[in-house]
Amino acid sequence: MSRATGNQRRALLILNPGSRQGGQADLEAGCARLKASGLELLRVDSDSPEQSCSAITERHEDVDLVVIGGGDGTVSSCIPALLESGLPAAILPLGTANDLARSLGIDNLEQAFDVIADGVAARVDLGVVNGHHFFNVANLGLGVKVTEELTPEVKQRWGVFSYLKAFAAALSRHRHFKLRIRVDGTEHAMRSIQLAVGNGRFYGGGNVVDQHARIDDALLHIYSLRPQTLWELFTLAPLLRGGRHDLAKRTFSVSAHELYVQTEPAEMEIHADGEPVTKTPASFSVKPAALEMLVPKQSPLVEKKRI
């Protein structure tokens, strides 16, 4: 089988039945719409990142597009195979947070099918930490504790509110740490309870990493929370939710192209797009316009084209 030509397109559809909505969402109507639009679908149900990446690698010459159905972690795990294949990608947001969909301007599953049918693509950036790629945010400290509280059972029961429940549980056992960072060559030292490094705009179920952040701005957006009381954290919450770290006196925020992080304790776990990927010390960078992804026709992302 060879790649489609003319108006006929062919897509590899990878579905993660373990994602929050993946096992129960009714995808039949949406898939029928895609077929009616001239898109032939080759479906693969994947239970692991390895299986998803293998499917892309094995079939990349047979398709024009990869459609990934699942949460942010599912999509992020496919990055190595997507980079190697050079294929454009589209997403069906079937997870709990779906922050990548938000960064792309996709609000719901129905709109995601519209985006795929329209076939409009834009190039997006990738964050890199110690060689691992990510779409949304990499963090250490309190954010890691929140992720550890987000068990599959909590996600299934609480949905998007699971982040609030996990945050409350994580606060009870968070610890501050010493942080030394080098931002585009400039050194900073501070105590922190949370460091977040954003490539996209959204994380943690709709929080904004920085009010100016975009997934195609070729920048990393960084903030650190200084040690503070539970009440102080709650008073900061509205500013943090909207990415207004510049108005919060108990935060440090900056945007950069490169970042080097050292911590005390010397090794701290780093999570990216909700998954453990590496430990400190860590080097962060941004890879501009690294991947082509399908976006809404009205998306503010630049240099869109039809595929």
The helix (run of H) or strand (run of E) holding residue 15 is strand 9-15
pLDDT of 233 reads: 77
User: How many Å apart are CA 280 and CA 232, to the nearest integer?
Assistant: 27
CA-CA-CA-CA torsion sign (237, 283, 213, 291): negative
Amino acid 238 reads P
Q: Domain 9-125+289-306: which topology?
A: Rossmann fold (3.40.50)
Residue 1 confidence class, pLDDT cut points 50, 70, 90: very low
Mention the CATH class of domain 132-288: mainly beta
What's the whole-model pTM score? 0.87
Tell me phi and psi for residue 260, to 5 degrees. -120, 135
How far out from the chain centre does Cα 45 lie?
21
Ordered by start, the domain boundaries in the chain are 9-125+289-306, 132-288
154-169 tens-digit pLDDT: 566 666 566 666 666 6
67-115 tens-digit pLDDT: 999 999 999 999 999 999 999 999 999 988 899 999 999 999 999 999 9
User: Using DSSP, how many helices (H) and how many strands (E) does the chain show?
Assistant: 10, 19
121-166 tens-digit pLDDT: 999 999 999 999 999 999 998 877 766 666 666 566 666 566 666 6
More confident site: 186 or 237: 186
pLDDT of 2 reads: 43
CB 88 within 8 A of CB 123: no
Mean pLDDT in residue range 217-244 = 87
What Cα–Cα distance (Å) separates residue 240 from each residue in 96, 98, 209, 211, 245? 20, 18, 8, 10, 6
Q: Nearest to residue 38, comparing CAs of 62, 8, 67, 1?
A: 8
- Which residues pair with residue 128 across a beta bridge? 133, 285
* Own/partner pairs, 44-53, CB within 8 angstroms, 24+ separation: 44/12, 44/13, 44/14, 44/15, 45/15, 45/17, 46/14, 46/15, 46/16, 47/16, 47/17, 47/18, 49/74, 49/77, 49/78, 52/14, 52/16, 52/77, 52/78, 52/81, 53/77, 53/78, 53/80, 53/81
Residue 66 confidence class, pLDDT cut points 50, 70, 90: very high
